Structure 1
Amino acid sequence: MTERRKAVLDAVLALLVEKGAAALTMTAVARRASCSKETLYKWFQDRDGLLTATVRWQASQVRAGAYDRHHLDVGALRESLEAFAGGWLRVIASRTSIALNRIAIAQAETLGGIVLANGRFAIGERMKPLLADAREAGLLAFEDAEQAFRTFFGLVGRDVQIRLLLGEPLVLDEAAIAGDARRATDQFLALYGAAKMPAGAG
């Protein structure tokens, strides 16, 4: 992802926040990003391709942190889980993410699949290797990685995203995000930890 393409995707997000999906045309994006429509079609093929890239760009900010799979311990696992939780909360609380998800809901037949495939499902696939490595290291105990991920995802998000989408002015500053990430991690380890892990261990 070059800086120039990032600027184009940032322009897409800005248009969605300011004017909604109806204003999202290749012409409008080209004008906002100061590039040609020909360049947009070359990079993204069409409007759906542009939206797909935009969702991927948003979702790429949610990561499980860096860790050494050959030396994974409780501390590294906790740090990685909290990094994922904090990243996801920051993304869903952003004005751009709220606007993008509202549009996907309103146009579920056309955009819903794009957001699911390149948002929620893609994030899950990035997270599952950490869970598998933690199980192999004897830190977690579960039978199905998808079910374990969904549990963690639910513990992190709770009802926050739906409340944001419905317009509640929730305050999610860095202190609140860090606290929520830590709480979700503690709860997840209490459910799936292979050995007793005190809160804040590591």
Structure 2
Amino acid sequence: MTTQIDLQGETLTERQQAVLDAVLALMVERGGDVTMTAVARRASCSKESLYKWFGDRDGLLSATVRWQASKVRAGNYDRQTLDILALRDSLIRFAANWLGVISSPTSIALNRFAIAQAGAGGSNLGAIMLANGRFAIGERLKPLLDAGREAGLLDFDDTETAFRSFIGLVGRDVQIRLLLGDALDLPPAGIERDAARATDQFLTLHGTEKTRRGKINA
């Protein structure tokens, strides 16, 4: 069994996925400080296999972050026939996925450890998190935003700025509160409502007359 996440040009096997899940579990238990030996022991594999699959520890961490970030996806849509209903649904799916991921214990542990390491210096985890987390997620959503603009449903000058606007509306202060230990209650139904609310706010800010007509007729 494989899943379509890029790992040095290849897809992850079920065994490799299990290794990355072991890394995430250790992150939660140990506050992020994991070693290749600990991962090999938890995943019941050899360190030689880890080095073969992922390279060094930074390679393993990069793959782990990509594995976690791969859970954030926009909904399925046809770029050629995109309408307001498909655009709204895809944005809501992306927002709900992202909120679910960033509020999970594994993401909280990853982010806390990355922040601590960045402050201490001597670690690449912060750069790994940015490149394979936030920036990779941005590149996953931007094609949808561009498709919405091409379809005449969205109006903005810069895709990166539009992405930041959307993420800001979705995330609000949720992530920083979670990182600081606030016990927020984020059940699936609540995440779905928040995702829909943020999407509608974004469409109000960046939607066109065509978008407004489509929402009225829907």
| 1:134-149 pair list within 5 angstroms | 134-149=148-163
Root-mean-square deviation over aligned CA pairs = 1.3
Tell me the alpha carbon deviations over residues 127-159 of structure 1, each in whole angstroms, 9 at most, x when there is no partner: 000011110000000110000000000000000
Partner of residue 56 from structure 2, selected from 23, 41, 46: 46
CA distance in 2, matches of 1:8, 1:153: 30
Return the TM-score normalized by structure 1.
0.96
The aligned amino acid for 2:66 is R
Count, aligned residues: 201
Cα offset for 1:21? 2.9
Q: For the residues of structure 2 that align with 1:10 and 1:43, how far apart are their CA atoms?
A: 15
**1:197 is aligned to 2:208:** no
Question: Any stretches of 5+ residues in structure 2 without a counterpart?
Answer: 1-11
Higher share in strand:
2
Q: State whether structure 2 residue 24 is matched by structure 1 residue 13.
A: yes
Give, in angstroms, the shift of residue 19 of structure 1.
1.3
Instruction: Give the deviation of 1:67 after TM superposition.
Output: 0.4
Check whether the contact 1:186–1:199 (CA below 8 A) recurs between aligned residues: no
| 1:124 aligned partner | 138
Q: Structure 2 CA distance, aligned partners of 1:89 and 1:19?
A: 23
Which amino acid letter does the alignment assign opposite residue 126 of structure 2? G
Structure 1: gaps (5+ residues):
none
CA distance in structure 1 between the aligned counterparts of 2:172 and 2:213, rounded to whole angstroms = 22
Give the AA of the match of 1:139: L
What amino acid maps onto 1:119 in structure 2?
G
Q: How does 1:39-188 map to 2 (within 5 A)?
A: 39-108=49-118, 109=121, 110=123, 111-188=125-202
Kept in 2: contact 1:44–1:50 (CA 8 A): yes
What percent identity do the matched residue pairs reach?
Answer: 70
The answer to whether the aligner puts 1:28 opposite 2:38 as a matched pair is yes
Q: What is the rounded CA distance, in whole Å, between the counterparts of 1:199 and 1:160 in structure 2?
A: 31
Aligned-residue offset at 1:91: 0.2
The amino acid that maps onto 1:32 is R
Cα 1:135–1:37, aligned 2, differ >3 Å: closer, same or farther?
same
Cα distance in 2 between the residues matched to 1:160 and 1:60: 20
